[in-house]
Amino acid sequence: MTLPEIMAQVSAYATHQICVTGGEPLAQKNCLALLTALCDAGHDVSLETSGAFDIGEVDSRVARIVDLKAPGSGESSKNRWQNIERLTASDELKFVLKDRADYEWARNTVIERQLDQRCTLLFSPVTESLEPRDLAEWILTDRLNVRFQLQLHKLLWGNIQGR
């Protein structure tokens, strides 16, 4: 779709809040232009990104939700640690955790880097691997300044692509 076609489709929904996500938006060559166009059209825009791409060129009006991949994901080598320095109070840093080892890695990363002083932190369990109750209890026991989050798209639609 062209940018004007996307903007027409968005306006048909008559919504104010727009979240650009799915796959890796920043891997798409026109993502930055889309984000700016959505902001220019008066939308409240957020971007969910894997954290593997530089977020420095994202329009400053966009709230960025950046993943920090835990070791259990098999993708932690893709973490772009420079993005952490770019995060502001309006951004969020998300950890999706597979097991206790991932939790401990995330907890230690938060504490060592004082990430809770930078932006909102989200801890989510991998749906098939970690019981939400266990993660919630670990967070409470350690008194972490993070927000517990379930992956609602998986609860609502499962792993259906495009939903």
Domain end point (choices 31, 56, 81): 56
The pLDDT assigned to 161 comes to: 66
State residue 33's pLDDT score: 97
Looking at residue 152, what is its pLDDT?
Answer: 75
- In this predicted structure, what is the pLDDT of residue 30? 93
Give pLDDT tens digits for 144-160.
999 999 977 777 777 66
Pair of tokens at residue 40: 């220019």
The pLDDT of residue 154: 73
Which tokens hold the place of 106? 């995330």
- Residue 19 belongs to some domain of the structure: yes
- pLDDT confidence of residue 162: 62
Mean pLDDT estimate for the chain: 93
In this structure, the answer to whether residues 51 and 111 fall within a common structural domain is: no
- Mean pLDDT, residues 37-58: 96
End-to-end CA distance of the chain: 18
Domain membership flag for residue 23: yes
Number of domains in the chain: 2
Q: Please tell me the pTM assigned to this model.
A: 0.89
What is the longest distance spanned by two Cα atoms in the chain?
50
- What pLDDT, in 10s, does the model give residues 56-113? 999 999 999 999 999 999 999 999 999 999 999 999 999 999 999 999 999 999 999 9
pLDDT value at residue 52: 94
- Residue 11 sits in which domain range? 1-56
Count the Cβ atoms, other than its own, within 10 Å of residue 113: 14
Q: How far apart are CA 54 and CA 114, in angstroms?
A: 21
